[in-house]
Chain A
Amino acid sequence: MTGSLWTENLGKRFGRTRVLDGLTFSVEEGSVYGLVGPNGAGKTTTVKILMNIVPPSSGRAVLLGTASGDLSARQFQQIGYVSEGQELPGWMTVDYFMAYLRPFYPSWDDRRADELLTQLALPRDRKLKHLSRGMRMKVALASSLAYRPKLLVLDEPFTGLDPFVRDEFIEGLVESAQETTMLISSHDLAEIESFATHIGYLDRGRLQFSQSMASLTERFREVEVIVDREATLPPAWPAHWLRPEAAASVVRFVDSRFNQEQTIGQLRHLFGDMARIAVTPMSLRAIFVTLARESRKSALEA
């Protein structure tokens, strides 16, 4: 395995509950990897294992060449971490917090720190406990970008942020994306879509797929077929055509392995002459809603 961050057969159990099962993926240097999935999929557990906050039950994770269990002060000087529920020292002012962290990082850049505080519109003399949740997230981000980390790990960073703060937050991230590899765990797909280069989809502790954003959006299409008769779903329905619906003369489905020629060929084979075929690209959100529903359906069937 290669990359700034990779995992191999990572597993985690809490008692009898298996939370992660054989998770294997890698994040290439310079990429922005979005780890997405529904609530309870195991995203936060994955991130906590990566950051050596909890140990894995099996498998391993490696960050910047060091096993997650061996991460020490030296590695954390190059790793940033921002998490939704992180407890910051509320008695510190924003300025004191930044000044306190400064000696921990040899690569701390005062000018960058100053720019970040200004850019994120943070009140320097206010205590952290008096800041809103969004403000505290921005402080955590500023304090994690000021030393120009090689790797930045964010766990549900957008949850509960108002749109204005989100924009500022993402702006801060995008600016650093060129020099920092990022792993963002989130179920906020619209935000991830705007700047992630790679996506991993986690569901019930298993990684369903991990691929580049471009190839993902390329392979999912919403297909609408209009036939000149009452539409019914043929028995030999391809497994990768998801969420099929038939109403009046219209058949709709999501093709999860879209290939223009093959899909149209298969449609002709199944439906014969068709009045119209409409193929629409899907947003990341639409793709994941489809995948989540399919997953729920197969879980119920199982």
Chain B
Amino acid sequence: MRQAVHIFFKDSRQFRVPILLLLPWTVAFAVIASWAWPLHARGPLAWAEKLALALPSVSTVLLPIAYVLLIVQVCHAEALPGHQQFWLTRPYRRSSLFGAKALFVVAYVLCPLFLAQGVILVRQGFGLPDILPGLLWEQVLIAAIIAVPALALSAVTARLTHVIFTLLVAAVTLVAVLMLESWGQLEWIRLTAGVVTLVAAAGVVLMLQFRGRRTVSARSLGVAGIAVALLGARLLPWPVAFALQSRLGASDGPEMRASLTRPGRTENPALEALRARLTRRTSFAFQLGGIADDTLTHCDAAEIRLEAANGTAWNSGLLLKRAPAPAAAPCSVVLSLPPDFVRATAGQPVRLRGTVYVTVFGQKQTTTVPLDRQGAEVPGLGACVAERDETSASVECRVALRAPRLIADSDDLRYMRAVGQLSYSPFPADLRIYPVLRAYGFVESTKEPGTNVRRALPSAVHISTIAPLAHVRLPLNEDDIRLQDFP
């Protein structure tokens, strides 16, 4: 431990300049972000104000990059690959060397970010005891997703140029991965799988390098780890993620069933034939039975297989509905059927087999938020405050550290838009540098009919939240249906 501290002090001295640049930057980020960012400008801003207000948004991108470069530089002070470094033949204990670098990351990366995020959250009205678990988890995420991979990358490289090249390749790969279809509220499962794989690979790389300097093996393993993480994210089936989410659900799913809503039979064969030629779109609606009265449902996805008596079959694949809009209405699926299949099955009975994936929402809670600066705490969503003038008011709800688990809505507000996705993640934080997410709503006074006189704004609005209760997979088995009956 003493040797680790000795090396740590050496590193602190060697990198005092970047440290002395990064720490004030982090402080400025914390101060400005906790003061007024993002600011709803009421008038033209001076250039200095514009610059100051740009700092937090720029920092959310550049601060992690700067910290990664600092970590890399610190590790390269005692580079592991290569044969010429002085420390290789000095009495360095490898565990102390790793300890020194880890200590540096904690002291100059995790602690400053922890304090900065804590300051921002407390200054924006969150109570420290409420946010502390999330704040600590946030540091675990920053360590796992930023610091550990940066340490592993610097353990298998000896020059900054190699690191920058690797980061550019990684950035391009990441962009390619982000272009995958989003899983919306289940995206956290795919991300977690990728991150766990990446951290495991980074851990093995660090162990190989710090224990035995087996650079070739470590590099190969690192590349393999990245490939597995990316392929895993690409190949992980959505139904598996849904099943996992279902197991993590707070309660068992209700005894539900899904059945097809059959519209009235069309008795005009000529019309059927014409429709079969003209359209390929068919809409199915499924009634969901067995749900409690005080719950709403959202169909997250469906998989449909249609089988005709003559042996012709068609698979829809997984049909994802990303933005949840829970309702009491039946679950509907619109299929784009190939014309050949429609023609081949015209007038024939068809069997429908498949699965519908449903999330049940409930525990509706309504909170009254006065349209003044006092605001109110909306459970599960965060602190909501309002700003108003004579004719309009805006309501802003702030959520700490992670995308909300609950769906918020208000009949009083013109719209209620959440910043960031809904997430069913059980963790208290997502990876983010700026730790506050916002949801906005807006209300405007309306005019008396036939006059220019505006009605007074209400003194308060009501915001309702509903929580996901269960994630249920329901089989679909319907025989003897005719596609022509489904418009």
Kindly state the separation between the CA atoms of A74 and B77 in the bound complex, as whole angstroms: 22
In the complex, whether B314 has a CB less than 8 A from a CB of chain A is no
List, in ascending order, chain B residues with CB within 8 A of A51's CB. Answer: 88-89
Asked if A79 and B89 make an inter-chain contact with CB atoms under 8 angstroms apart, the answer reads yes
Asked if B91 and A104 make an inter-chain contact with CB atoms under 8 angstroms apart, the answer reads yes
In the complex, whether A271 has a CB less than 8 A from a CB of chain B is no
1/0 per residue, CB under 8 A from B, across A66-77: the answer is: 000000111011
Which of A74, A83, A87, A101 sits near B90, CB closer than 8 Å? A101
Which of A54, A73, A85, A88 sits near B91, CB closer than 8 Å? A73
Kindly state the separation between the CA atoms of A104 and B2 in the bound complex, as whole angstroms: 10
Kindly state the separation between the CA atoms of A81 and B3 in the bound complex, as whole angstroms: 20
Asked if B91 and A74 make an inter-chain contact with CB atoms under 8 angstroms apart, the answer reads yes
List, in ascending order, chain A residues with CB within 8 A of B86's CB. Answer: 86-89, 140
Kindly state the separation between the CA atoms of A81 and B87 in the bound complex, as whole angstroms: 10
In the complex, whether B35 has a CB less than 8 A from a CB of chain A is no
A81-B10 contact given A87-B84, A89-B77, CB 8 Å threshold: no
**Which residues of chain A in 39-79 are interfacial with respect to chain B, using CB atoms and an 8 Å cutoff?**
48, 51-54, 72-74, 76-77, 79
Per the CB 8 Å criterion, the residue count for chain B at the interface is 16
Asked if A105 and B83 make an inter-chain contact with CB atoms under 8 angstroms apart, the answer reads no
1/0 per residue, CB under 8 A from A, across B62-85: the answer is: 000000000000000100000111
Asked if B92 and A73 make an inter-chain contact with CB atoms under 8 angstroms apart, the answer reads yes
1/0 per residue, CB under 8 A from A, across B1-37: the answer is: 0110010001000100000000000000000000000
Asked if A100 and B10 make an inter-chain contact with CB atoms under 8 angstroms apart, the answer reads yes
Kindly state the separation between the CA atoms of A91 and B11 in the bound complex, as whole angstroms: 11
Minimum distance in angstroms from A191 CB to a CB of chain B: 22
List, in ascending order, chain B residues with CB within 8 A of A101's CB. Answer: 90
A72-B88 contact given A91-B14, A103-B6, A104-B3, CB 8 Å threshold: no
Minimum distance in angstroms from A125 CB to a CB of chain B: 15
Kindly state the separation between the CA atoms of A91 and B6 in the bound complex, as whole angstroms: 17
List, in ascending order, chain B residues with CB within 8 A of A85's CB. Answer: 84
Minimum distance in angstroms from A175 CB to a CB of chain B: 21
Closest residue of chain B to A85 (Cβ to Cβ) is: B84
Which of B14, B89, B92, B93 sits near A53, CB closer than 8 Å? B89
List, in ascending order, chain A residues with CB within 8 A of B77's CB. Answer: 89
A104-B90 contact given A89-B77, A91-B14, CB 8 Å threshold: yes
Q: Which of B14, B88, B93 has the most CB of A within 10 A?
A: B88
Asked if A76 and B14 make an inter-chain contact with CB atoms under 8 angstroms apart, the answer reads no
List, in ascending order, chain B residues with CB within 8 A of A54's CB. Answer: 83
Minimum distance in angstroms from A217 CB to a CB of chain B: 32
Kindly state the separation between the CA atoms of A48 and B83 in the bound complex, as whole angstroms: 8
Asked if A104 and B88 make an inter-chain contact with CB atoms under 8 angstroms apart, the answer reads no
Kindly state the separation between the CA atoms of A26 and B197 in the bound complex, as whole angstroms: 48
Asked if B83 and A76 make an inter-chain contact with CB atoms under 8 angstroms apart, the answer reads no
Minimum distance in angstroms from B35 CB to a CB of chain A: 37
Kindly state the separation between the CA atoms of A150 and B3 in the bound complex, as whole angstroms: 22
Closest residue of chain A to B78 (Cβ to Cβ) is: A89
Minimum distance in angstroms from A55 CB to a CB of chain B: 9
**Which residues of chain A in 97-135 are interfacial with respect to chain B, using CB atoms and an 8 Å cutoff?**
100-101, 103-105
A104-B92 contact given A89-B77, A91-B14, CB 8 Å threshold: yes
List, in ascending order, chain A residues with CB within 8 A of B91's CB. Answer: 73-74, 76-77, 104-105
Kindly state the separation between the CA atoms of A76 and B87 in the bound complex, as whole angstroms: 10
Kindly state the separation between the CA atoms of A79 and B88 in the bound complex, as whole angstroms: 12
Asked if B88 and A53 make an inter-chain contact with CB atoms under 8 angstroms apart, the answer reads yes
Closest residue of chain B to A48 (Cβ to Cβ) is: B83
Asked if B93 and A73 make an inter-chain contact with CB atoms under 8 angstroms apart, the answer reads yes
Kindly state the separation between the CA atoms of A81 and B84 in the bound complex, as whole angstroms: 11
List, in ascending order, chain B residues with CB within 8 A of A86's CB. Answer: 84-86
List, in ascending order, chain A residues with CB within 8 A of B89's CB. Answer: 51, 53, 76, 79, 81
Minimum distance in angstroms from A247 CB to a CB of chain B: 48
Minimum distance in angstroms from B157 CB to a CB of chain A: 15
Minimum distance in angstroms from B475 CB to a CB of chain A: 59
Kindly state the separation between the CA atoms of A87 and B87 in the bound complex, as whole angstroms: 9
Kindly state the separation between the CA atoms of A88 and B89 in the bound complex, as whole angstroms: 12
- Give chain A's interface residues, CB within 8 Å of chain B: 48, 51-54, 72-74, 76-77, 79, 81, 83, 85-89, 91, 100-101, 103-105, 140
A-B contact pairs, 12 of them (CB 8 A): A51-B88, A53-B88, A54-B83, A74-B91, A76-B89, A76-B91, A77-B91, A83-B84, A86-B85, A87-B85, A100-B10, A103-B3
Q: Which 5 A-B pairs have the closest CB atoms?
A: A81-B89, A73-B91, A76-B91, A77-B91, A73-B93
Beyond the given A73-B93, A104-B3, could you list 11 further A-B residue pairs with CB under 8 A, ordered by the A residue number?
A52-B88, A53-B83, A53-B89, A74-B91, A76-B90, A76-B92, A79-B89, A89-B14, A89-B86, A91-B14, A103-B6
